[in-house]
Amino acid sequence: MPAPTKIYYPQIASQDWIDWVQVINVSSENSNVLAVARDIDGQTVWSGEKALGPFQGWVIPVEPVSVKQELSLTVSSDKSIIGERHCHLKTEVLAFPGAAPELRNLGRRLFFPELVVGCADYFRIFNISDQNALINVIVRDINGIITKQFSGQIKPLGFWYFMDDMTGNTNGTLELLSTQPIAAERHLHYGEAIKGVAVGQLGQLLDPPTPNKIHYAQIAAGGWGDWVQVINVSNENAKVLAMARDENGQTIWSQEKALNPFQGWIVPVDPVAAEKDLSLTVTSDKAITGERHCHFETQVLPFPGACPEMKTAGRRLFFPELVAGCYDFFRFLNITDQVAMGSAILRDINGNVTQQHSFQIKPFGYVTVRDEDTVNLQGTLEILSTQVIVGERHLHYGELYHKGVAIGQLGQVLD
């Protein structure tokens, strides 16, 4: 499936929250891009156009329009595009890729593998169709037992939101069933648990094909703590196997778990990675989804489980942002039993190639690319591989922007 020509952001935030949205033309031809911001009822309140050269970026100037009201944003192009949004309030930074059917994060059945008691959860759902969307919400506890159900309706191209008071502040999961295609964001505000920290995730699509194997390119060593949860998202009992491997692809640890329908398992892999970084692969005989949070003090990196079905594992990965003055860290995991020959293409924000590098990854092994390798560039990174890989980006803001803040994103597949 090709890269999208239309991507969606369910929220452009109002008041003190500040949004940064960048879109990249990921084609080899010039493109014409249109950005449209709409209010809660789906009415257009702003639009802007931009011509982009191949692999050129555009920081969309939508932020001033949303000062007094919440908006959504839709970006369309006559060529393939990829984008990223960061929503900032002091040390809270929410990071989201643009949602699209081609990227498997938009559809009629979306799933969030975590709800947390004692923190604040906020959900924003965007109806991308020209028909009313009828939404049913299912809240389950961590054992897969339904604890609450409620419903809502969204006008064409409008949006809806709800918070903890609707979900019941549960330790568990949340599922959305819609009559029309939707994109959905979750904002987790840690509150007193980790003061001044928030993370964002898009809903994961459960429309077939759904994965029975998901990958995490890193389980971190040293002072970083990893929390990984996987959910059996089928209606049958599942047998789940978790395997941690070192950089050479050698198995270091494994454990099995039987899961009931929609039951969750916090994989106890963190102590195994105390001395050295590992990767983690979770396999099941039924459909699964998952989420990982990697913590160090106020830095929290969130990642969904990566897989080809969710368009987060492939042979051509793209990262729509590199930031000069911050620290970028990349981890690439080869999920095959063959050596992966990789090439990295670094471009500036105007699409000019500034550097190219080659690397190899052993079967089931991983490699790390650091800021020193990307020469602290303001631009983008593309990875081409002979085998299917997963890529994580860790952006550490450092002193220049938001001290003590980090965000994580998976590479977006351009296959």
Q: Are 317 and 403 members of one domain?
A: yes
Report if pTM > 0.85.
Answer: yes
The answer to whether position 67 is within a domain reads yes
Q: Are 66 and 197 members of one domain?
A: yes
State the pLDDT confidence band at 191, using cuts at 50, 70 and 90. Answer: confident
Read off the pLDDT of residues 18-55 as tens digits, 9 standing for 90 and up.
999 999 999 999 999 999 999 999 999 999 999 999 99
State the pLDDT confidence band at 11, using cuts at 50, 70 and 90. Answer: very high
The answer to whether position 223 is within a domain reads yes
Question: Mean pLDDT across the stretch 358-379?
Answer: 94
Question: Domain boundary residue among 302, 329, 350?
Answer: 302
Read off the pLDDT of residues 272-292 as tens digits, 9 standing for 90 and up.
999 999 999 999 999 999 999
Task: Collect all residues with Cβ–Cβ distance below 8 Å to 75 and sequence separation of at least 6.
Answer: 6, 7, 8, 9, 21, 23, 33, 34, 35, 36, 60, 81, 83, 98
Q: Are 196 and 264 members of one domain?
A: no
Q: Are 11 and 57 members of one domain?
A: yes
Question: Domain boundary residue among 134, 168, 203?
Answer: 203
CATH, residue 249: 2.60.290.11
The answer to whether position 208 is within a domain reads no
Q: Are 56 and 34 members of one domain?
A: yes
| Residue 1 scores a pLDDT above 70 | no
* HEC profile of the chain: CCCCCEEEEEEECCCCCEEEEEEEECCCCCEEEEEEEECCCCCEEEEEEEEECCCCEEECCCHHHHCCCCEEEEEEECCCEEEEEEEEECCEEEEEECECHHHCCCEEEEEEEEECCCCEEEEEEEECCCCCEEEEEEEEECCCCEEEEEEEEECCCCEEEEEHHHHCCCCEEEEEEEEEEEEEEEEEECCCCCCCCEEEEECEECCCCCCCEEEEEEECCCCCEEEEEEEECCCCCEEEEEEEECCCCCEEEEEEEEECCCCEEECCCHHHHCCCCEEEEEEECCCEEEEEEEEECCEEEEEECECHHHCCCEEEEEEEEECCCCEEEEEEEECCCCCEEEEEEEEECCCCEEEEEEEEECCCCEEEEECCCCCCCCEEEEEEEEEEEEEEEEEECCCCCCCCCEEEEECEECC
The answer to whether position 272 is within a domain reads yes
pLDDT at 321 (0 to 100): 95
Question: Domain boundary residue among 147, 181, 203?
Answer: 203
Q: Are 291 and 364 members of one domain?
A: no
Q: Are 264 and 354 members of one domain?
A: no
Q: Are 356 and 278 members of one domain?
A: no
Domain with 324, as residue range(s), is 309-413
Question: Mean pLDDT across the stretch 127-141?
Answer: 98
As for how many domains the chain has, the answer is 3
Read off the pLDDT of residues 321-353 as tens digits, 9 standing for 90 and up.
999 889 999 999 999 999 999 999 999 999 999
Q: Are 70 and 182 members of one domain?
A: yes
Q: Are 137 and 256 members of one domain?
A: no
pLDDT at 195 (0 to 100): 81
